[in-house]
Structure 1
Amino acid sequence: MAADIIVGIGPDGSGDHAAEHAVTLARALGSTVVLVFGYDLSTLGPRGGPLEEQLEAVADEVSTAVRERLIRANPDVAIDVELVRDRAVDSLMRAAEARGASMIVVGHGGAGPLRAALLGSTTYEIIHRSTIPVLVVPDPEESADA
Structure 2
Amino acid sequence: MKMTIIVPTDFSSNAKYAAEYACELAESKDYGIHLLHSYTTSSVLDEGAEEPNDPTLKADESIQELKDELLQRHPGLSITFECSRSLIIDKLTELSSNNNYGMIIMGASGESQHKPIYYGSTTLAVAAKSEIPVLVIPNKPTQLDNTHVALLTNFKPEELDTLKAYMKWIANVDELTLIHVFKDSNKKQNVDDTLNSWAFNIREMVGIGQVNSISEQVHSDDESLDTVPEVVNNLIDQVNPSIILVTPSRKTFFERLFKSSVSKAIALELNKPAFFEKV
TM-score computed with the length of structure 1 as normaliser: 0.77
| Unmatched segments (≥5 aa) in structure 1 | 42-48
Aligned CA distance change for structure 1 residues 99 and 75 (closer, same or farther; 3 Å): farther
8 Å Cα contact 1:7/1:106 also seen in 2: yes
| Unmatched segments (≥5 aa) in structure 2 | 42-48, 142-268, 272-279
Q: Which has the higher helix share?
A: 1
1:111 to 90, 109, 115: 115
Paired-residue identity, % = 28
Point out the more displaced range, 16-25 or 50-59. Answer: 50-59
With a CA cutoff of 8 Å and minimum separation of 6, indicate the structure with the bigger relative contact order.
1
Shift of 1:100: 2.3
Aligned CA distance change for structure 1 residues 67 and 22 (closer, same or farther; 3 Å): same
Task: Give me the whole-angstrom Cα distance separating, in 2, the residues matched to 1:63 and 1:28.
Answer: 23
8 Å Cα contact 1:37/1:91 also seen in 2: no
Name 1:2's counterpart in structure 2: 2
Task: Give me the whole-angstrom Cα distance separating, in 1, the residues matched to 2:270 and 2:103.
Answer: 23
Task: Give me the whole-angstrom Cα distance separating, in 2, the residues matched to 1:35 and 1:135.
Answer: 15
| Counterpart mapping for 1:73-112 below 5 A | 73-98=73-98, 100-109=100-109, 111-112=115-116
Aligned CA distance change for structure 1 residues 99 and 60 (closer, same or farther; 3 Å): farther
TM-score computed with the length of structure 2 as normaliser: 0.42
Name 2:125's counterpart in structure 1: 125
* AA matched with 1:136: V
* AA matched with 2:115: A
| Counterpart mapping for 1:1-146 below 5 A | 1-39=1-39, 50-53=50-53, 57-98=57-98, 100-109=100-109, 111-112=115-116, 116=118, 120-140=120-140
Shift of 1:3: 1.3
Task: Give me the whole-angstrom Cα distance separating, in 2, the residues matched to 1:51 and 1:96.
Answer: 32
8 Å Cα contact 1:27/1:77 also seen in 2: yes
Task: Give me the whole-angstrom Cα distance separating, in 1, the residues matched to 2:68 and 2:129.
Answer: 30
Aligned CA distance change for structure 1 residues 75 and 37 (closer, same or farther; 3 Å): same
* AA matched with 2:100: G
8 Å Cα contact 1:7/1:19 also seen in 2: yes
| Root-mean-square deviation over aligned CA pairs | 2.9
Task: Give me the whole-angstrom Cα distance separating, in 1, the residues matched to 2:129 and 2:3.
Answer: 19
* C-alpha distance after superposition, 1:93-138 (max 9, x if no partner): 333334621100110136356xx45xx5110111100111100001
In the alignment of these two chains, the number of paired residues is 134
Larger Rg: 2
Shift of 1:56: 6.5
Aligned CA distance change for structure 1 residues 27 and 74 (closer, same or farther; 3 Å): same
